[in-house]
Chains A and B, each alone.
Chain A
């Protein structure tokens, strides 16, 4: 309740919430309640596409917390998203049961194929939905904690930190590619059947997943708003602007960075877990450093340090990506790079900055 009052005090924030709520409710309802030929109908394709954008928006927002508010340019944020996705994927794999190609009741297909006789210890418990959901936040959180503890305590900052975050996600990419890791190698985890006993391919389940993605985004938005409005949020902003000064005020800067980094990693994990059942696959390509760079572009494009800027950026960039990769598949990376240059040079505050400037000039 307090979160809501806080959010509605601010007009922009209230608008963002209304739009998010509208999308979250209307798209799945229109999909389920209207006939396929109605103009109000959203196809299953649209639902899963927009659902994917929502998880990207959540991912972008979590990076904004780290980068926009705390000033840590993390270029490996996709790793946490992928880990959350893998945790979800492991649950979905174990739900397949005997319906796999090899019909092994315990082992996923790829393990049978590799001639493994028993389930590796780290796959235990993933048949339990609750445990898997716990891992969705704990696995990325633990990695962020260990990594952040080492990096922030040794006061690694700036470009050096950015580079080692890239190295982190690249190392994970290589590790997950290996068949011996037990995560399905380069094929990853796919061919999912059920989630909580419901057919994952069915339109109802897809609509529910969409709804949950929207709901997660709304809750995360409120939570992030609250955090950035607490004293911790102000300390974090202060760290972004003058890190050493904050130390001389008696704050342990590394603990604050660690706190925000771990929290953001957990949010990214949730985003990954919602993404995987909607796209039906998780493989090591999610760890590619390029993916993490793209998240940075979303946030820069939308506008840093605003939370909703990251949402706008994630949706706009990914929508363009969907359209443009259809039209000119080879050009997308050049367009993405070009966009980043244009934004950095012309629009340092992103789309949100542009909108604010327009509003201000209209008022004046």
Chain B
């Protein structure tokens, strides 16, 4: 049954005939991997999200822009389980209801997040930070007796190479520059082997070269993973975006290519103030 079910999801042609729900598997038969429908969140009367509906396709790289307070970070909070919405539904694939899960469960299911303020563990080394993020059994006893396998060690090495921190493997993360912390956190995301990466302002504090490398890295990840990137830097967004979503006052203002979006009179009004 299990292997049959796995085949079912891997081979498109067999899928049509069936609507079997497979426990713990992300069902992306209809394309989108992340569904948000009519999600509203309010804090003390302020509507941070207002009937937000958003669909992210499997393997897509989506950029989100919008003025401050548009609800970008709240949206990520809802997806990752930090904030429970007042109304609406959030699904991972067709079948996994994210509103019924807490943060660790969502993270283990494969939705990982880089925070706006780089959040690495200053007291631990670069290597140890990545080791903590490594996708593995994360129960307390299992963690106590955890030993890195050679394969996992290589994987950490690879990721350190990718994010350019190999030379700093045993330095405390606290001494890293702002840009390096951003990279480390991106590395931690990679260690988790997520299906969806939510990346909040990845290039703040980075030099020009670092920004270019970040763009390359994010672009190389799409396809295999879905990415949602929130960024204020329009030039950066232009360099990576296929599709851009503009948020305004807690809902989607418009979606499209960068050119379409930038020429949309409503977007211009929101950004320049009308």
Contact = CB atoms under 8 A, between A and B. Distances in A.
Interface in B118-162: 119, 121-124, 128, 131-133, 135, 138-141, 143-146
A231 B119 contact: no
Contact of B133 (A244, A249, A252): A249
B82 interface: yes
Contacts of A252: 104, 138-140
A227 B146 CA distance: 11
A18 interface: no
Contact of A232 (B113, B133, B140, B188): B140
Interface residues of B, number: 30
A238 B121 contact: yes
A234 B140 contact: no
A74 B188 CA distance: 31
Contact of B192 (A238, A245, A249): A249
A41 B74 CA distance: 70
A247 B107 CA distance: 8
B132 A249 contact: yes
Contacts of A15: none
B104 A238 contact: no
B119 A251 contact: no
Contacts of A253: 104
B146 A248 contact: no
A248 B112 contact: yes
A255 interface: yes
B9 interface: no
Given A235-B132, A238-B121, A249 B143 contact: no
A231 B104 CA distance: 17
Contacts of B80: 248
Given A227-B144, A232-B143, A250-B138, A245 B107 contact: no
Given A235-B132, A249-B188, 14 more contacts: A230-B146, A231-B146, A232-B144, A232-B146, A238-B132, A242-B121, A246-B132, A247-B103, A249-B138, A249-B192, A250-B104, A251-B132, A253-B104, A255-B140
